[in-house]
Amino acid sequence: MNSNTRLNPTLFSTRYVHLTKLRDATLQAMQALTADNKKLTLIDFGCGDMPYRSVIEPMVDKYIGVDLDINPQADYHIDYDSKTTLPDNFCDIILSNQVLEHVDSPHSYLSEALRILKPGGSIICTTHGYWYYHPTPYDYWRWTSAGLRKTIEAEDFKITSFHGIMGLAASGIQLFQDAILLKMPKFMVPPFAFVMQSFIRLFDKIHSQPQRDRDASLYVVIAQKPISTL
């Protein structure tokens, strides 16, 4: 069995809908950005255990993991201020997968991402709207759709795609599930998760995509570094 539960969650996962939709949206974004050119350098910025590396690495020329020095899997390390030793205009794509809510300063993180991106390069940034507290090692931020747009655009990025995942009803059921799980015996978690995730899939269908783009548990944003600041 594949142990990469973020890439291939089981039907009994408490995050099944969230993880499968996040995976699919991320890979769709990568396919769009690499459709005409595979000779690209990608930085996984706040890489963790790089759950998507096996499927994304064949799409690019170089895949580089960057994270805190507590992560031995990272190729380069950053401090808590998000600064790296990488040169300006270094990479073509930055993957920021569920990182922004954990950094001390979104401003510092995004400005460093802008610095190391080549002009015309893109960041794929995924982060939370409605979600429970999950420190790894810290957890600071949540965004409304308007607030996330404002945060990213404040660093001179141009947003080219903004996609909400799990609308208001689905997000509410997810939060209800997570609250109940705190008091549930472990042996009951898989069947309970299967039922709740089924409800999440069902009730998410009542929302249109524009409604999800406004209110969601998760946002997938593609933003581009301007080719010229003139």
Q: Which two tokens stand for residue 143?
A: 């965004």
For the chain, the structural domain boundaries read 18-167+208-224
Find the mean pLDDT for residues 26-37: 95
Element (H or E) spanning 193, and its range? helix 189-204
The mean pLDDT of the chain is 94
Closest CA to 175 of 144, 125, 218, 212: 218
Q: Which two tokens stand for residue 163?
A: 């996609």
pLDDT of amino acid 134: 93
Residue 230: pLDDT above 70?
Answer: no
Whether 52 and 97 have beta carbons less than 8 Å apart is answered as yes
Residue 229: pLDDT above 70?
Answer: no
pLDDT digit string, tens, across residues 47-62:
999 999 999 999 999 9
Q: Is the dihedral of CA 163, 43, 116, 67 positive or negative?
A: positive
Confidence of residue 1 (pLDDT cuts 50, 70, 90): very low
Q: Which two tokens stand for residue 23?
A: 């995976």
Residue 184: pLDDT above 80?
Answer: yes
Q: What is the DSSP string of 41-94?
A: EEEEET-TT-TTHHHHGGGSSEEEEEEETT-TT-SEEE-TT---SPPTT-EEEE
Domain spanning 18-167+208-224: CATH 3.40.50.150: yes
pLDDT of amino acid 25: 97
